[in-house]
């Protein structure tokens, strides 16, 4: 049983924090919107009105916020994690941010006496609810092992992938694969529909063959029905593909499909689909074929 501060009770953070409660940990949650904090308290957690209040007694601090500037905002400064967490606490950043920012903040965390891990997650809202997330962890091996019981309360696959920043690099690759796969599934559905094929039957047989993938398993049914309630928003995936393209440029790596996906995700966002699930790439695919 561990005292945990959880910062960021959004679509992903709330169920992750709730699973920590189910595992028997003491969890203090805080969020920009007080409604989420009140909801978390109603589920058996403890609420805090500020980062400083949330982290002061925590053995483990977890941040789960949208982007690099958001992480920096909650960990640095007079009211941040680094200024108020107790020495020796483990800081786990489960957000998806730029690898270079993760490396820089890890160094600052160590200077503040904390033990940092970058541990972005994959699996979407359903994975967060089920506690079946895949968690890719960057940091010191001994800290990863100490934090493993906490990580196992939120995920089913926890892998140490290297030093600080490595988790974010692997997550960037994950987001590239997921975006490309969603796009191919979307284009396939448009193609099949144009030929009058039974889409449910087609997905069933495709999922059983070499084309089988998690997007077909988890997203295709909703795509066919035109249901795009956000489990992971296009806005966020657009941000993540920006991380991919920037990191690729810094490494001198050419990613033609990645660059195309960044453009397509941006186009979906410009068409007003940003608040929808990333499976709404289907709407863009239909728009491009004049089949909206």
Q: What is the pLDDT of residues 131-169, one digit of tens each?
A: 999 999 999 999 999 999 999 999 999 999 999 999 999
Query: Average pLDDT of 63-71?
Result: 97
By percentage, how much of the chain surpasses pLDDT 70?
100
- Which pLDDT score, from 0 to 100, does residue 36 have? 96
Query: Average pLDDT of 47-68?
Result: 97
- All structural domains of the chain, each given as residue ranges with its CATH number in brackets, are 3-163 (3.40.50.720), 169-288 (1.10.1040.10)
- Which pLDDT score, from 0 to 100, does residue 19 have? 98
Going 224 to 282 to 170 to 258, the CA torsion angle's sign is positive
pLDDT single digits (tens) 83-124: 999 999 999 999 999 999 999 999 999 999 999 999 999 999
- Which pLDDT score, from 0 to 100, does residue 169 have? 98
Q: Which residues of 83-104 are buried (b: 16+ CB within 10 A; e: fewer)?
A: ebbeeebbbbbbbbbbbbbbbe
pLDDT single digits (tens) 195-240: 999 999 999 999 999 999 999 999 999 999 999 999 899 999 999 9
Task: Identify the active-site residue in 18, 56, 171, 219.
Answer: 171
Query: Average pLDDT of 250-260?
Result: 97
- The Cα–Cα gap between 185 and 267 comes to 17
pTM above 0.85, yes or no: yes
DSSP H helices in the chain: 13-22, 34-42, 51-55, 68-75, 81-84, 99-111, 124-130, 141-152, 166-194, 199-207, 214-218, 220-225, 234-251, 256-268, 281-288
Catalytic annotation present for 171: yes
């Amino acid at each position: 049983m561990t005292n945990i501060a959880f910062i960021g009770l959004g679509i992903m953070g709330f169920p992750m924090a709730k699973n920590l409660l189910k595992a028997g940990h003491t969890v203090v949650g805080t969020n920009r919107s007080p409604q989420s904090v009140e909801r978390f308290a109603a589920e058996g957690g403890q609420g805090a009105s500020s980062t400083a209040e949330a982290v002061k007694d925590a053995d483990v601090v977890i941040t789960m916020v949208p982007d690099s500037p958001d992480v920096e905002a909650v960990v640095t400064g007079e009211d941040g994690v680094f200024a108020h967490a107790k020495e020796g606490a483990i800081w786990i950043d489960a957000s998806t941010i730029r690898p270079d920012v993760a490396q820089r903040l890890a160094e600052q965390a160590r200077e503040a006496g904390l033990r940092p891990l970058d541990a972005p997650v994959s699996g979407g809202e359903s994975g967060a609810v089920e506690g079946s997330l895949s968690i890719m962890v960057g940091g010191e091996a001994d800290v990863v092992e100490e934090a493993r019981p906490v990580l196992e309360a939120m995920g089913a696959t926890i892998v140490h992938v290297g030093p600080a920043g490595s988790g974010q690099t692997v997550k960037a690759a994950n987001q590239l694969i997921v975006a490309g796969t969603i796009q191919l599934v979307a284009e396939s559905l448009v193609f099949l529909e144009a030929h009058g094929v039974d889409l449910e039957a087609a997905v069933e047989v495709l999922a059983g063959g070499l084309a089988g993938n998690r997007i077909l398993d988890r997203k295709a049914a909703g795509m066919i029905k035109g249901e795009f309630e956000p489990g992971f928003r296009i806005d966020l995936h657009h941000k993540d593909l920006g991380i991919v393209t920037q990191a690729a440029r810094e490494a001198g790596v050419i990613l033609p499909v990645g660059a195309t996906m960044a453009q397509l995700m941006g186009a979906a966002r410009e068409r007003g689909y940003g608040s929808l699930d990333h499976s709404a790439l289907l709407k863009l695919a239909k728009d491009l074929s004049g089949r909206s």
